Amino acid sequence: MVATMRLGLSEEDLYLFNQGTAYHSYRFMGAHPMTVSGKQGVRFAVWAPNATEVRVIGEFNEWNGKSHRMKKHGTTGIHVLFIPELRPGELYKYELVTENGEVARKSDPYAFYSERRPGTASIVVDNDGYTWDDAAWMEQKKTKSPYDRPLLIYEAHAGSWKTKGKEHYYTYEELAEDLVPYVAGLGYTHIELMPLAEHPLDQSWGYQVTGFYSPTSRYGTPLQFKKLVDACHRNSIGVILDWVPGHFCKDDHGLRLFDGTPLYEGADSNRAELPLWGTLAFDYSRHEVWSFLISNAIYWMDVFHIDGLRVDAVANMINLHMDKPAHMRTFNAHGGRDNLDALRFLKRLNETVFHYYPDTLMLAEDSSAWPAVTSPTYLGGLGFNFKWNMGWMNDTLRYMSLHPSDRPHHHHLITFSIWYAFSENYVLPLSHDEVVHGKHSLLDKMPGTYEEKFAQLRLFYGYWMTHPGKKLLFMGSEWGQFDEWKDQDMLDWMVLEYDSHRSMLEYVKTLNHTYRKLPSLWERDRDPECFGWIDVNNAAQSVITYIRYGYESCSVIVINFSNQNYPNYRIGMPEPGRYAVVINSSARQFGGNGGSEEVCCITEDVAWHGRDQSISIELPPLTFLLLTPLPGDTL
């Protein structure tokens, strides 16, 4: 015990790790520069309970660990060694001798920095010493509830937003200089970065991880990543990181059979194997896996000031049968398909995150119908504070892909989502998953001529922005990227040489800033009283009209999904008075043909849609209109 304490490891730390409650295990696991008995060096700690011997190897010993054998601490399964004179920057691995005498060379599960692929060594790094300049951001986010404020997320893939050439990526610092002001100027509140934990295969986009604690070296160092997050915060942009606690890849240097036995994965291969992805599921029944994963979530917030995690593939975590052929399906203790251990893990994860960081965003990417995903755990929920609304996304994109002449027969696809819009705290995602693998870009999903595609994408964005729920848009969609996302190449920035794409970018910028400026579009997102239909049943003309209510304001939305012009379209209004046309998606400045040039509408004493007052407007084809009452006239 004395020797362990001398190396900065307490008995309590090790006990809690084995109990699954060491929520800051990165502070004592892995490689840590430190001074012991007056000597500078690095202390290594790794969990490998079934290895007969563990050695530290690296360039410092010519990758021969015979002189650097680690000492196993009691029954904890944790092996420890202090090596004097080592410094940050050293490459290392663990060499493990298994119970059957085989030797495996593994990267450190707690590596804080990793060799750039195809190299697989871990790198000693000192994660302390950076002086943050985001105190104002960190303080102000404690004062605001995420539910009743605008949340407008720009999803980006760091390796293809912009590049300098094939595999010549922008560094984290260069993204801070270019990406951050771009996103801030467009009016987004947050950037969501696709997974940045170290991964061997570019084409996995970061969703098949080997280094859960290591920001990928493709784009630079952990210090540079801190500078990117800091720059975001100084520009009032929050940072959400895609996080993948559901599975890991099988590469030999990673977690698979780490000490020669199934350690991070379960022993039952039918449960561990995920054949659709070619990966392995974590064993959520294992306490040490809880310490590893929950600590990892805390790590990104503690060390890198990350503002939230989008938790990937929740449905796969909680459903033992998801994407499994019949012969691989396993059952829980009650004979059901629910992964009871994963459900317990997710609840503990969210409880722990919100205990330490109550202002954090925890977003579930969940395609299941599991109830109460965003309800507190003490009420039986999973404890997330937001969930992606996959049903809304699937229905609306299917509707928008229809020719306008077919839309009257499928009107429910654009209206049904309101029935469940308040059952969870939703984010409406238009993510990378919808613009790859033959699904077409958002612009190319729209039917019709070149001009009609742009018109329909504009009206669709208007519908999306005014529908209850927070917003997420994938990079390139803001200007109408025509091709699918190509993860090996940068976005098609050259299309901004064309008026149609420049006008789309101007439209999205206007829409974003208008959303943020109008509390009626976000401050009561969880309240069913924030939404009211004016006319939900006009399937014949493919027009919907509705109201969004704030606490002291309202907005009226009119959307014509048909390709017909309605010169005298009458709409019942919530209150008498004058209404300004704040956004007309057919305006020439946005690339439209002008259509109606009305900028103000005055109600008449004509009862319509069950209301005493109404307006009559020209409603151009494929058009979104946003109207707000002029001050002093109505609500």
Beta bridge partners of 471: 152, 428
Question: Residue 633 has what pLDDT?
Answer: 56
Question: Residue 167 has what pLDDT?
Answer: 82
pLDDT at 407 over 70: yes
Annotate 334-367 with three-state secondary structure: CCCCECHHHHHHHHHHHHHHHHHCCCCEEEECCC
The string of pLDDT tens digits covering residues 521-551 is 999 999 999 999 999 999 999 999 999 999 9
Rounded Cα gap, residues 154 and 337, in angstroms:
35
Answer whether 424's CB lies under 8 Å from 526's CB.
no
**Which H or E run contains 445?**
helix 442-445
The string of pLDDT tens digits covering residues 30-53 is 999 999 999 999 999 999 999 999
Provide CB contacts within 8 A for 631, sequence distance 6+: none
pLDDT at 569 over 90: yes
Question: Residue 129 has what pLDDT?
Answer: 87
Beta bridge partners of 239: 191
Strand runs labelled E in 561-633: 566-573, 578-584, 600-602, 613-619, 623-629
Active-site annotation, residues = 312, 365
pLDDT at 5 over 70: no
Q: Which of 42, 50, 56 is nearest to 121 (CA)?
A: 56
Range with lowest mean pLDDT among 99-108, 142-151, 283-292, 306-315: 142-151
Question: Residue 631 has what pLDDT?
Answer: 83
pLDDT at 307 over 90: yes
> What is the band of 2 on the pLDDT scale with cuts at 50, 70, 90?
very low
3 state SS of 272:
helix
> What is the band of 4 on the pLDDT scale with cuts at 50, 70, 90?
low
Half-sphere exposure of 431 (CA within 13 A, CB side): 18
3 state SS of 490:
coil
Q: Across the chain, what does the average pLDDT equal?
A: 95
DSSP conformation letters of 172-232: HHHHHHHHHHHHHHHT-SEEEEPP-EE-S-GGGTT-S-SEEEEE-GGG--HHHHHHHHHHH
Answer whether 362's CB lies under 8 Å from 354's CB.
yes
DSSP state of 484: P
User: Which percentage of the chain shows pLDDT scores above 90?
Assistant: 94
pLDDT at 634 over 50: no
Question: Residue 7 has what pLDDT?
Answer: 76
Domains of the chain: 2-123 (2.60.40.10), 150-388 (3.20.20.80), 399-635 (2.60.40.1180)
Rounded Cα gap, residues 68 and 6, in angstroms:
18
> How much is the average pLDDT of 370-379?
97
- List the structure tokens of 241: 């990181």
Query: In terms of residues, how long is the chain?
Result: 635
> What is the band of 183 on the pLDDT scale with cuts at 50, 70, 90?
very high
> What is the band of 598 on the pLDDT scale with cuts at 50, 70, 90?
confident
pLDDT at 480 over 70: yes
- List the structure tokens of 85: 């004179």
Other C-beta atoms closer than 10 Å to the C-beta of 380 total 11
Question: Residue 165 has what pLDDT?
Answer: 86
pTM (predicted TM-score): 0.96
pLDDT at 435 over 50: yes
User: Helices 499-517 and 450-466 sit at what angle, rounded to 10 degrees?
Assistant: 10
> How much is the average pLDDT of 362-390?
97
The string of pLDDT tens digits covering residues 185-215 is 999 999 999 999 999 999 999 999 999 999 9
